[in-house]
Amino acid sequence: MRIGIVCPYSFDVPGGVQFHVRDLAEHLLAAGHSVSVLAPADEDTPVPPYVVAAGRAVPVKFNGSVARLRFGPVSAGRVRRWLAEGDFDVLHIHEPLTPSVSVLALWAATGPIVGTFHSSIPRSRVMIAAQPMLRPSMEKISARIAVSEDARRTVVDHFGGDAVVVPNGVYVDSFAGASPRATWQGTTERPTVAFVGRMDEPRKGLPVLAAAVPDVLEAFPGARFLVLGRGDGDDALGDLDATSRAAIELLGPLDDDDKAALLRSVDVYVAPQIGGESFGIVLVEAMSAGAPVLASDLGAFRRVLDGGQLGALFPVGDPAGLASALVGLLRDPERRAGYVTRATAGVRRYDWSVVAEEVFAVYETVRLGADRVGEDPAVGGLLSRWLG
């Protein structure tokens, strides 16, 4: 099958949607399909061979954080050319409402179009105001996928209709098979706790974890907190006392192998996020690596942890609650082992072998009874008149 995938965020910087698109594309290629990914990327950024760069992305504030997006008339032209050259059976657009190449591709194409919604956006004035503008485009999507129940609710609340939930995928075995590193492995006296996420993004919850550190140190004076992620950690840590600060080790950004090794090594992985999460891919990665998970009780996390069966939960944004839950977990190896056993079985649901098959089932279903992907004649006519 000839599949065109559109990613709105730049491949210059790492991010959840980008990784998802990359893994999906590689899985489909390995299965023998022809795949082309259109994404913003600088001309001289090294990208995988299946990625077509739509040009340099500009940082824009969107949906509460800064995203690197690509738009404008030149991009519109490139999107049109990519569609014409690709001659796709199915067009798969990620985040079809993000003002980047996604919106442009959705605008320019007709035929079997699949849209995947990654984020959960609370009902906002902007979305309500933009609805009449976005709705006709939305109507062109023949199959809507949401990566979580929260993302599905967002789409259905804003645009009615329905969407199927196909979660984000993880290569479970690459995490399960990573070798632990002695420096990150804990002992009974010196247990290790991992945090993964942008340090300077408050929604990721590093400040919540930092505020819980003094209480944890009272019970476990030797506890070590290993923080992985981009950004300036010192800002997020605020004015911690010297002992607590010394217990926190900022590892900076690490590559995928190091992340897998870290999650494989630690005694507990903590996800203190305070909002803006629609799925929680790191939780799935931690479960794949066999790390017991302690997460804030957000809807998305509760669902991934099967209501607390596969990992422990604490009240959102509550450092004291985090500290007591963490101390309880560190004191109880049996409970940790129970979580790990159940999570190891449960996490198979998110393996790419299962997820990609579901995505492919969506492709097959929209292709039935529909034509190929083509250019929207009305829009094409207008565009060519405007752009020459």
Partner 1 sequence: MLSGLPAGLFSGPRSGLGSDVMTWAPMVLVFLVLVGWYLSYSASRLDRLHHRVESSRAALDAQLARRAAAALEAAPVLDPATGLLLTEAAAESLAAAEDSPPSVAVLEEVENDLTRALNAAFSDPDDVLALRADPVTSEVLDLLGQACLRVQLARRFHNDAVAQAERVHDKRIVRVARLAGHAERPQMIEMDVTSPPGLVRGASS
Positions that interact with partner 1 (CB under 8 A): 110, 136, 138-140, 142-144, 160-164, 303, 306, 345-346, 348-351, 354, 357-358, 361-362, 364-366, 368-370, 378
Comparison of 246 and 361: residue with beta carbon closer to partner 1: 361
Comparison of 151 and 248: residue with beta carbon closer to partner 1: 151
Comparison of 47 and 134: residue with beta carbon closer to partner 1: 134
The alpha carbon torsion through 262, 266, 268, 274 (nearest 10 deg) reads: -30
DSSP E strand stretches across 17-175: 34-39, 51-53, 58-62, 65-69, 90-94, 109-110, 113-117, 143-146, 164-165
Give me the least distance between CB of 44 and partner 1, in Å please.
Answer: 40
Q: Collapsing DSSP states into helix, strand and coil, what is residue 137? A: helix
Q: Collapsing DSSP states into helix, strand and coil, what is residue 116? A: strand
Nearest Cα neighbor of 236 from 271, 215, 206 is 206
Give me the least distance between CB of 327 and partner 1, in Å please.
Answer: 29
Give me the least distance between CB of 161 and partner 1, in Å please.
Answer: 4
Give me the least distance between CB of 87 and partner 1, in Å please.
Answer: 19
DSSP E strand stretches across 150-274: 164-165, 192-196, 224-228, 248-252, 268-271
Give me the least distance between CB of 160 and partner 1, in Å please.
Answer: 5
Biggest alpha carbon–alpha carbon distance for the chain: 72
Comparison of 194 and 310: residue with beta carbon closer to partner 1: 310
CA distance 253 to 248: 15
User: What is the DSSP secondary structure assignment for residue 98, as one 8-state letter?
Assistant: S
Give me the least distance between CB of 99 and partner 1, in Å please.
Answer: 21
Tokens of 29: 């290629």
Comparison of 46 and 160: residue with beta carbon closer to partner 1: 160
CA distance 3 to 37: 9
Comparison of 146 and 199: residue with beta carbon closer to partner 1: 146
Q: Collapsing DSSP states into helix, strand and coil, what is residue 60? A: strand
Give me the least distance between CB of 365 and partner 1, in Å please.
Answer: 5
Comparison of 48 and 308: residue with beta carbon closer to partner 1: 308
Q: For residue 156, count CB atoms less than 10 angstroms from its CB and return exposed for 0-12, middle for 13-18, buried for 19 or more.
A: middle
| Residue pair 373/112 in contact by the 8 Å Cβ criterion | yes
Beta strand 374-375 with 109-110 is antiparallel
Token pair 């980008």 in the structure block, residue: 18
Beta strand 374-375 with 268-271 is unpaired
CA distance 111 to 364: 13
Comparison of 74 and 361: residue with beta carbon closer to partner 1: 361
Give me the least distance between CB of 205 and partner 1, in Å please.
Answer: 24
